[in-house]
Structure 1
Amino acid sequence: MSGNERLRICSLFIGAIMAKRVFIWVGHPRETSLSHGLADAYEQAAKAEGAETRRMNLHDMTFDADLTEGYHARKTLEPCLEDWRKNTVWADHLVWIYPQWWGGMPAKMKGVVDRCFLPGFAMAYHDNGPWWDRLLEGRSADIFMTSDAPVIFDSLSYGRAAKKQVEKTVLNFSGVKPRRTFQFGPVKTAKPAKIEAWKRKAAVRGKAIARRPAKA
């Protein structure tokens, strides 16, 4: 075996065992919530398996959520939004955890997406034609949503609209590959044992993701 071949095999091996970089974003605007509990469980399990994690909580982020001029004029990003974008670029795997409100994500959370997922960062539209380049390719994502409606009702009545929004028109549109979307509900009638079961599912998922090879 030549020296170059040995170097290539070593590089592949190191890449396979390299710690996964996971960016966890809690999208609940309140300081404490079930979303935070799910994030704690996921993060602790992922770190226990060797993943490198970063985390941001929406309630800590102070910014103007209004994209006043659309894509015609740019606002200067507040420091928390700059950090959020840096963490997104740094990560191999994104984890978004939030409550489903009115068939989508909370307004403040959507404000982060509006302000940060801009042309030149999330996508680049072609000058000629309707197509675009997905600038965040190479990353995967898990989504955890909580709801007061039973999941079967959400599916039969609304076709899982919130799930489609985040998977198709946000993440996939920018090149991020959704891996799993978990929806837990109804929260308002859930007993403590049920809530703990949901947290265990989040921990199991965090552990499994940490064991995936980076960029896999």
Structure 2
Amino acid sequence: MKVAIIYNHPYSGSFCNAILQAVQAGLTRASHQFDLIHLDNEGFNPVMSAADLRAFRDKSAIDPKVLEYQQRLQRVDHLIFIFPIWWELMPAMTKGFVDKVIFPGVAYDYSNASNTRMKPLLKNISGVTVITTMNTPGILYRLIFGNAIQKALLRGTFWKLGYINRKWISFNRVKMVSQKKREKWLVQLEAKFAKF
């Protein structure tokens, strides 16, 4: 299997980076190939400009990085997103990736001019896994904050695109748990992707 990892965290000492290392180790153990799209290190500009919006209207992306990412996504079978949840949502670069790369003419098109039903153009992709970290307890995130990532990304984006295989792995209360617990999570995560 070929996997694209879309990673967004600016600090190399973060738990997200440890998650990235565990996922890569597991995929390597399973002999899967992966392409790391490190949004922070690759200088991705998440801002949707007026020119980008014109391109959205015309279904013709113009950002060279978006065109590069389109080519890279055409060569994979599965997407893995890794990012922290800040203020109940994804960071700006992850949101910008969704805005600019999950784009008409790049990732989807409309089935006809009279409705808004989407048809995926990246038919090679069979599924999406989202891995997040946050300090909020999971139950509060669901009950108080409305499960924003589940609603916006897994349903609002990837369900609308027709991807049935969608999974979310959330590591909660990351700053509050012990180092031993974090290490256990990483071992379990590597084992999970070694069986992927």
Q: Structure 2-normalised TM-score?
A: 0.86
Shift of 1:128: 1.4
- Structure 2 residue ranges without an equivalent (≥5): none
Sequence identity of aligned pairs in percent?
Answer: 23
Which sits farther off after the overlay, 115-124 or 176-185?
Answer: 176-185
1:72 and 2:53 aligned: no
Match of 1:54 among 35, 51, 55: 35
- Structure 1 residue ranges without an equivalent (≥5): 1-19, 210-216
Whether the aligned pair in 1 keeps the contact of 2:22 and 2:186 (CA below 8 Å) is yes
1:132 and 2:118 aligned: yes
Q: In 2, distance between residues paired with 1:134 and 1:72?
A: 17
Q: In 1, distance between residues paired with 2:27 and 2:98?
A: 25
Q: Deviations over 1:124-145 (max 9, x none)?
A: 1221123221223442111111
Q: What CA RMSD, in Å, does the superposition of the two structures yield over aligned residues?
A: 1.9
1:115 and 2:96 aligned: no
Match of 2:8 among 11, 27, 40: 27
Higher radius of gyration, 1 or 2: 1
| 2:149 aligned residue | 162
Which sits farther off after the overlay, 128-137 or 97-106?
Answer: 128-137
Q: Secondary structure at the match of 2:166?
A: strand
| Paired AA for residue 116 in structure 1 | V
Structure whose residues are more often helix by fraction = 1
Match of 1:43 among 21, 24, 43: 24
Whether the aligned pair in 1 keeps the contact of 2:61 and 2:67 (CA below 8 Å) is no
Paired residues, number: 189
- Runs of 4+ in structure 1 over 4 Å off: none
1:143 and 2:130 aligned: yes
1:96 and 2:77 aligned: no
Which sits farther off after the overlay, 100-109 or 125-134?
Answer: 125-134
| Paired AA for residue 56 in structure 1 | I
Q: In 2, distance between residues paired with 1:75 and 1:67?
A: 11
